[in-house]
Amino acid sequence: MKKLLALLCAVGVTASLCCACGKTAQETVTVRLNEVTHSVFYAPQYAAIKLGFFTDEGLDVELTNGGGADKVMTAVLAGQSDIGLAGPESCIYVYNQGKEDYPRIFAQLTKRDGSFLVGRENVSFKWSDLKGKTIIGGRAGGVPEMTLEYVMRQNGVVPQEDATVDTSVQFNMMAGAFTGGNGDYVTLFEPTATEVEQAGKGYIMTSIGQESGEIPYTAYFASQSYMSANSGVIQRFTNAIAKGQAWVQEHSAAEIAEAIADQFPDTDVAVLTAVAQRYKETLHSVGVKRAFSCVIYA
């Protein structure tokens, strides 16, 4: 796991920087963005949409939820989406397949795992509690699942020996599987984890991201052909995200909740505030603490 994390870090670090120049009048361009899941964890992105940072860059973002990194990558490869937001491992897998127009990472949004371990009992949690249990962990080979297994090993629980990690459940179906009675534990993003807890169907045990440390967790990528033909769009997109990251760092959980409320119409603002505060406390930031201000070509 350490070698893979080092490889993912190398993807983000081995980069050439292409900084934006002065602004000029520009025609609005529509960008089809496909995200791996819809979570408060991506607050900088939603803030950039709400506060007009994309508009300032001449971009109109059409946002869709892929429901898993594999599905996001499929949409990008098929030309159904221009930009994907998912774990960087998806780009590595496609590159290793030898595809000519393989997607490349150009910016990073988050630097920690944004999921929380949810259990069935409201008790003081220790990692040894997982022994003999089943954890719904997401798609095999995905960054969320790999990070979970890494954290388990770091805490003396060997996956598939001491505890079972169920990788058969699709990413966007994990909460439903757990509340339906499958597994003893599940890893969930916010606000889903809090909503499950409020419904009395589970309890948040711990932050996976707090346990795992910093990793290149969620990144933006596009096909080489799209990036070549739209280099200005890629730069302007990254500029808007960087503004969103800086804004989230500088504002309170309540202000963040208010800014992203339109993205979560079925979630109370008070819940969004609590969730944003939890991310700030457990991950030291919602999004990337040191935001990128230039395009990063992996």
Q: Which mean pLDDT values do the consecutive 10-residue runs of the chain (298 residues) have?
A: 42 38 69 96 97 98 95 96 96 95 96 95 96 96 94 97 96 95 97 95 95 92 97 97 96 97 96 93 51 36
Bridge partners (DSSP) listed for residue 64: 34
**Would you say 227 and 106 are in contact if contact means Cβ atoms under 8 Å apart?**
yes
Q: Which residues contact 73 (CB under 8 A, 6 or more apart)?
A: 84, 86, 90, 91, 93, 94, 103
Give the model's pLDDT for residue 171. Answer: 87
**Would you say 86 and 69 are in contact if contact means Cβ atoms under 8 Å apart?**
yes
**Would you say 115 and 188 are in contact if contact means Cβ atoms under 8 Å apart?**
yes
**pTM score, two decimals?**
0.82
Give the model's pLDDT for residue 241. Answer: 97
Give the model's pLDDT for residue 284. Answer: 52
Other Cβ atoms closer than 10 A to 197: 16
Region of residue 141 (left: phi > 0; alpha: psi -120 to 50; beta: else): left
> Per the structure block, which two tokens stand in for 287?
């999004």
For residue 196, give the nearest of 175, 169, 177, 171 by alpha carbon: 175
